[in-house]
């Protein structure tokens, strides 16, 4: 084991969802940027409290939808007029009316896939390393623990002052996270 383990962040536990919300606001107002809140359930208003920007996922859903629509129409147009020009029930080869249900379906599918992919990317998932993995008590976040984690890479991070800040807003069970 390393004699001087590297400090990667800090973890503090809070009493309730309300306390966590207040702590997030305080950190946001203290200009911290690399911190996260962990709770057993989603907390209403947390996005604002943490100062998060609006999610760009919607635009990727839109992009996916547009691609899906083009692929759906293009595939059907090519197969029925160029690839396999078969006359079906006396209708024109390029019967765009009949293409619409499939194109619609592909629009939805690609929009959903686009949103899903964008969600994973912007959540930085899958993640194999995170500071909270170095905590012993962190597993409680999926039970009854409300945690705030601050990363050491945050420009405002300082072991002493961050500790004072986290404790001043009601943080308990303070844990300095170290890479072992």
Partner 1 sequence: MSIDTNKYRLTERNKYGRIDLIAALIGIVICIVGYMSNSEQFNFAYLIAFTFWVSLALGALFFTMLQHLTTATWSITVRRISESITVTLPWLFILFIPVFLGLDDLYLWTHADAASDPLLLPKLGFLNVTFFTIRTTIYFTIWSALAIMLRRTSLAQDRGDSEKYAAKMRTISAGGMVIYALTVSAAGFDWLMSLDPHWYSTIFGVYYFAGGFVGSLAMITGIALLLRYKGILKNEITPEHYHDLGKLMFGFIIFWAYIAFSQYLLQWYGNIPEETIWYLHRWDGVDGTTEWKSVSLILLFGHFFLPFVILIFRNVKRNFVMMSIMSIWILVIHWIDIYWLVAPTIYHHAPHISWIDIGPTLAIGGIFGWIFWRNLTAEPIVPIGDSRLENSIKFVNR
**Which residues are near partner 1 by CB under 8 A?**
44-45, 47, 58, 62, 89-91, 97-98, 100-101
CB of residue 85 vs partner 1: minimum separation in angstroms? 19
Beta bridge partners of 13: 147, 172
Question: Toward partner 1, which CB reaches closer, 47 or 154?
Answer: 47
First to last CA, the chain: 7
Q: How far is the CB of 119 from partner 1 (least distance, A)?
A: 17
Q: In what order do the strands lie in the sheet with 146-151?
A: 35-38, 146-151, 6-14, 172-179
Q: Closest separation between CB of residue 105 and partner 1, Å?
A: 13
Question: Would you tell me the crossing angle of helices 159-168 and 17-29 to the nearest 10 degrees?
Answer: 140
For residues 89 and 180, which CB has a smaller minimum distance to partner 1 in the complex? 89
Closer residue to partner 1, CB minimum distance, 55 or 178: 55
Q: Is the CB of 90 or the CB of 155 nearer to partner 1?
A: 90
Identify whether the C-beta of residue 150 lies closer than 8 Å to the C-beta of residue 166. yes
- Tell me the closest approach of the beta carbon of residue 171 to partner 1, in angstroms: 26
Omega into 126 within 30° of 0, i.e. cis?
yes
């Amino acid at each position: 084991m390393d004699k001087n383990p590297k400090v990667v962040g800090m973890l503090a536990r809070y009493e309730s969802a309300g306390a966590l919300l207040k702590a997030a606001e305080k950190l946001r107002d203290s200009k911290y940027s690399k911190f996260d809140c962990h709770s057993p359930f989603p907390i209403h208003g947390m996005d604002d409290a943490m100062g998060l920007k609006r999610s760009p996922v919607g635009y990727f859903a839109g992009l996916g939808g547009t691609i899906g629509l083009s692929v759906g129409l293009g595939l059907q147009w090519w197969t029925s007029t160029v690839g396999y020009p078969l006359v079906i029930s006396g209708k024109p080869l390029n019967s765009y009316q009949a293409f619409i249900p499939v194109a619609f379906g592909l629009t939805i599918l690609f929009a959903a896939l686009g949103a899903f992919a964008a969600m994973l990317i912007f959540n930085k998932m899958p993640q194999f390393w995170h500071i909270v993995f170095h905590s012993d008590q962190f597993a409680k976040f999926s039970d009854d623990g409300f945690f705030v984690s601050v990363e050491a890479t945050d420009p405002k991070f300082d072991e002493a002052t961050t500790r004072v800040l986290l404790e001043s807003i009601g943080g308990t069970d303070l844990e300095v996270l170290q890479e072992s």
